Amino acid sequence: MIGGGTDFKSVPLPVRLCYDRAQVIRLYHVSKVYPPRFAALNDVSLHVQPGEFVFLTGPSGAGKTTLLRLLLGADAASAGQIVIGGRNLARLGRQGITRLRRSTGMVFQDSKLLPGLTVLDNVALPAEAAGASPRDARSKAFALLRDLGLKDLVRRAPPSLSGGEQQRVAFARALVNDPRLLLADEPTGNLDEESAARIVELMRRAHQGGATVVVATHDPALLRSLPGREIALRTGRVVAGDGAPPPE
Ligand SMILES: Nc1ncnc2c1ncn2[C@@H]1O[C@H](COP(=O)(O)OP(=O)(O)OP(=O)(O)O)[C@@H](O)[C@H]1O
Ligand SMILES: [Mg+2]
């Protein structure tokens, strides 16, 4: 049981996605260099099929967050090409990136909920940014939070929530626009087993709903809990599982 007495597993799928809305992701020789000359990603090439579930693994500093930020369009690659759904991110321009971000949900390593807004308003915000009226955005956010068993938290401020609750609200926020691509950065880091299991269930449902899911983690328990392809990074390079088709 979670939150307002809802049996979490019996509630219907909260996200209305369909498989063919998901987008293929291709990276060609991508590097990301932070000033003055530190290569956080170094010649990374990889492919992710629509509707795939991918774990991005590697030790601290391997470049996982850096890669997720590039996929979100929050940072630009220093070299190479990133193509999502046939669109080259380097050529999209600001408006194109904003549109892309609307079809992408991101759960950050530190949840990044806005402390001055209620849980409901945090979840409604991306829907409003995507063009919904404040009333529609809040009603959509409420329905999603209710479906996820978080109804009792809607009026709370994020700082008053437990770490596990904050992560679940961050997932609700990432899912409110029915994303084609869900990116999650260490979503179970520092969570107890039960909270982590609830997060796993959210990712499973988003994936079953048709989203392509990319999860950065070095949590072995999370890796065992969901079937997914593992792409391993070490010091900014892909060392296993890049998903590239075999050479012809
Ligand atoms: N804005 C930045 N400026 C300079 N260096 C950075 C910046 N962001 C990340 N780095 C460096 O790039 C490398 C990769 O960082 P990144 O955050 O992608 O690693 P990570 O795999 O997510 O690690 P963790 O598991 O600790 O979250 C690290 O050495 C980090 O110090
Ligand atoms: Mg990280």
pLDDT tens figures, 172-186: 999 999 888 999 999
pLDDT digits (tens, 9 = 90+) for 150-166: 999 999 999 999 888 99
Tokens 């999603």 correspond to what residue? Answer: 144
The bound ligand whose nearest atom lies closest to the alpha carbon of 218 is 1
Tell me, what amino acid is at 164? G
Query: Ligand 1 within 6 A of 35 CB?
Result: no
CB of 36 shorter than 6 A to ligand 1: no
Q: Whose CA is nearest to atom 27 of ligand 1?
A: 60
Task: Say if ligand 1 is within 6 A of residue 179 CB.
Answer: no
Q: Helices (DSSP H) in 76-162: which residue ranges?
A: 93-102, 119-129, 134-147
Q: Is any ligand 1 atom within 6 A of the Cβ of residue 38?
A: yes
pLDDT at site 100: 84
> Regarding the domain delimited by 19-240, which CATH topology (the fold level of the hierarchy) does it fall under?
Rossmann fold (3.40.50)
The residue among 98, 107, 101, 241 whose CA lies nearest residue 180 is 101
**Which positions ≥6 away from 156 have C-beta within 8 Å?**
118, 119
CA 167-198-52 angle, 5° bins: 85
pLDDT in the model for residue 9:
44
pLDDT tens sequence across 101-137: 888 999 998 889 999 999 999 999 999 998 999 999 9
Would you say the CB of residue 32 lies under 6 angstroms from ligand 1? no
Among 31, 64, 234, the mutation site with the greatest number of ligand 1 atoms within 8 A of its Cβ is 64
Would you kindly state where each structural domain of the chain is located, as residue ranges?
Answer: 19-240
Which pTM value belongs to this model?
0.86
Distance 139 CA to ligand 2 centre (A): 33
Q: Express each pLDDT in 45-68 by its tens digit.
A: 999 999 999 999 999 999 999 999
Residue nearest to atom 8 of ligand 1 (CA): 66
Residue 90 has pLDDT above 80, yes or no: yes
Residue with tokens 């049996």: 7
